[in-house]
Amino acid sequence: MTLVRKVKLENRIRVFRAEHRLTQSDLAKAIGVSRKTISTIEVGRFVPSTTIALLIAQYFGAPVEEIFSIEES
């Protein structure tokens, strides 16, 4: 029997953008996605692919775990 845990992906993208004085559009352009993609990730409506998460972390020069975390419910 497999147990399935309910988890939610949290992120600190908005905080990192504010610290770097970037708009959603600035970040989106820098990593090659749409502004809407950044927006939906920030509010938790979209879980980014591993590639997008790594690109965001690389852009900010931070470990993925500093930007994204899992919250268990």
- For residue 52, give its domain range: 11-63
In this structure, what CATH number is given to the domain that contains residue 28? 1.10.260.40
The total of structural domains in the chain comes to 1
State pLDDT tens for residues 3-55.
677 888 999 999 999 999 999 999 999 999 999 999 999 999 999 999 999 99
Q: Is residue 21 part of a domain?
A: yes
Q: Is residue 45 part of a domain?
A: yes
Q: Is residue 5 part of a domain?
A: no
Q: Is residue 42 part of a domain?
A: yes
**More confident position, 42 or 1:** 42
Cut 0.75: pTM above it = yes
Q: Is residue 15 part of a domain?
A: yes
3-30 exposure pattern, b = at least 16 Cβ within 10 A, e = fewer: eeeeeeeebbbeebbeeeebebeebbee
